[in-house]
Amino acid sequence: MSDLQNASKPELTFPKEANDRLISLSGQWTLRTLAASPDLRQTIKKLGREKDKQWDLSSIERLDSTAVFLLWQAWGEKLPKNLILQPEQRQLFDHWRNRPIPKPNSMVFGFVELIRHWQLPMQGFYHHIRAWLTLFGRLLLDVIFLLRNPRFTPYKEISQTIYKAGVSAMGITALVGFLIGVSMSYLSSLQLQQLGAEIYIIDLLGLSIIREIGPMLAAILIAGRSGSAMAAEIGIMRVTQELDALSAMGISHSLRLVLPKVVALSLAVPLLIVWTDTLALIGGMLSAQLTLDIGYQQFYENLPKAVPIANLYIGLAKGTVFGMMIAMTACHFGFLIKPNTESLGKETTRAVVTSITAVIIADTVFSILFRNVGFS
């Protein structure tokens, strides 16, 4: 702060009479001093438009590139006639003379510019789809190979992944499922009491939880918890060159890394859906008893009548598809990770976001295909 106060301010002496054409600059013309003098910058721009003036820079004590750039722009990117300056100052202006300022690109988009703007994202989407289908094809070949050679089945990797992605997630899915059931039951009871239809809370909770909310909730939790872990695990193997070591030993990446995760999640997610549905229904049953005075026995007996068993099968089928999509998406983005920490975080985040998006799209497809199934 003291340096700024001690520095001499930039001064500008411009002609006040019509016949006087000399403009003199003195003091220190630097970025720091010019930042404190916004009016001076506007004056320079205004005087730069007058082509008949003569400029004298020889009295300037200090001149940096920022002030040179300001003067160069004010003069229309060319030196004025009869310019008075020191030799070292001329070198600064020669820098901009040899490097003209680039003109800004027009922001008006035409049809061709619009196509070019979307071309790169579409190419990236095409590459992702092609890589995902390639990974799916390799899994099919691995399944055919294991059917012919069952002794090579990676049972240990599958069981380990089931424990990590399934058993370890039972706590969080139970808690979230129970709270969602309580919340849904409490909010629904307020509306049903106004209509005098309190008994239909069993239909509402049973159908919504078993068919939609339970599978979606479990899949999203698994995508955020286990999907990110799978992508990061493969990414760490890329960073530590373990993938290169597996390739050097002739071990298939898809057989030892991708297939166990896909099989494990295909088995674990449906079981977690049943677990989440059960806790959500228990939470809804407790809330219904407290708010609507619906007994536990009544809730338990009317639930199978209100919700056909086909809804449970649809939920389990969703779980299998969701598990496969989460595992394959996580592995796909895991293999895209480059050997640096920035790519690790970026691709892991993309794996989670893409997995959740894929789950929602798949759930929408299920809702359209089975819109007439599971209703009494």
Answer yes or no: do 189 and 62 share one domain. Answer: no
pLDDT at 99: 66
**Cβ–Cβ < 8 Å for 63, 29:** yes
Q: Which residue has the higher pLDDT, 274 or 82?
A: 274
Answer yes or no: do 167 and 94 share one domain. Answer: no
**Cβ–Cβ < 8 Å for 276, 217:** yes
CA 222, chain centre distance (Å): 17
Q: Does residue 338 fall inside a structural domain?
A: yes
Residue 319 has pLDDT above 50, yes or no: yes
Please report, as a single letter, which amino acid is at residue 333. F
Answer yes or no: do 298 and 188 share one domain. Answer: yes
Q: Does residue 146 fall inside a structural domain?
A: no
pLDDT digits (tens, 9 = 90+) for 225-246: 999 999 999 988 888 888 888 8
Answer yes or no: do 37 and 184 share one domain. Answer: no
pLDDT digits (tens, 9 = 90+) for 321-347: 999 999 999 999 998 888 887 888 888
pLDDT at 2: 44
Last residue of a domain, one of 64, 98, 132: 98
pLDDT at 3: 47
Q: Which residue has the higher pLDDT, 302 or 274?
A: 274
d(CA 350, CA 361): 16
Could you give the angle at the alpha carbon of 204 between the alpha carbons of 178 and 174, nearest 5°? 15
pTM across the whole model: 0.67
Q: Does residue 187 fall inside a structural domain?
A: yes
pLDDT digits (tens, 9 = 90+) for 80-129: 777 888 888 887 777 766 666 666 565 555 566 666 666 667 777 788 88
**Cβ–Cβ < 8 Å for 269, 320:** yes
Spatial neighbors of 120 by CB under 8 A, at least 6 apart, are none
- Residues 209-220: what's their mean pLDDT? 92
Last residue of a domain, one of 98, 114, 137: 98
- Residues 136-162: what's their mean pLDDT? 90
Answer yes or no: do 256 and 333 share one domain. Answer: yes
Mean pLDDT, the chain, whole residue set:
84
Answer yes or no: do 38 and 178 share one domain. Answer: no
d(CA 226, CA 168): 10
Q: Which long-range contacts (CB under 8 A, 24 or more apart) does 61-65 make?
A: 61/8, 61/26, 61/27, 61/28, 62/28, 62/29, 62/30, 63/29, 63/30, 63/89, 63/92, 64/29, 64/30, 64/31, 65/92, 65/95
Report the CATH number at residue 12: 3.30.750.24
- Residues 364-370: what's their mean pLDDT? 91
**Cβ–Cβ < 8 Å for 55, 84:** yes
Spatial neighbors of 133 by CB under 8 A, at least 6 apart, are none
Answer yes or no: do 319 and 209 share one domain. Answer: yes
What are the backbone angles phi and psi of residue 23, rounded to the nearest 5°?
-115, 120
Q: Which residue has the higher pLDDT, 284 or 68?
A: 284
Nearest to 332 by CA among 262, 272, 265: 262
- Cβ–Cβ contacts within 10 Å for residue 17, how many? 6
pLDDT band at 4 (very low <50, low <70, confident <90, very high): very low
Find tokens 């079981």 and name the residue.
271
Q: Does residue 8 fall inside a structural domain?
A: yes
pLDDT band at 317 (very low <50, low <70, confident <90, very high): very high
d(CA 265, CA 272): 10
Answer yes or no: do 227 and 352 share one domain. Answer: yes
Least confident of 20-34, 134-148, 247-261, 293-307: 20-34
| Domain limits for position 23 | 2-98
pLDDT at 267: 94
pLDDT digits (tens, 9 = 90+) for 171-208: 999 999 999 999 988 888 877 777 777 788 888 888 89
Answer yes or no: do 194 and 284 share one domain. Answer: yes
Answer yes or no: do 52 and 169 share one domain. Answer: no
Answer yes or no: do 93 and 213 share one domain. Answer: no
When divided into structural domains, the chain yields a total of 2
**Cβ–Cβ < 8 Å for 186, 287:** yes
End-to-end Cα separation, the chain, in angstroms: 79
Answer yes or no: do 163 and 93 share one domain. Answer: no
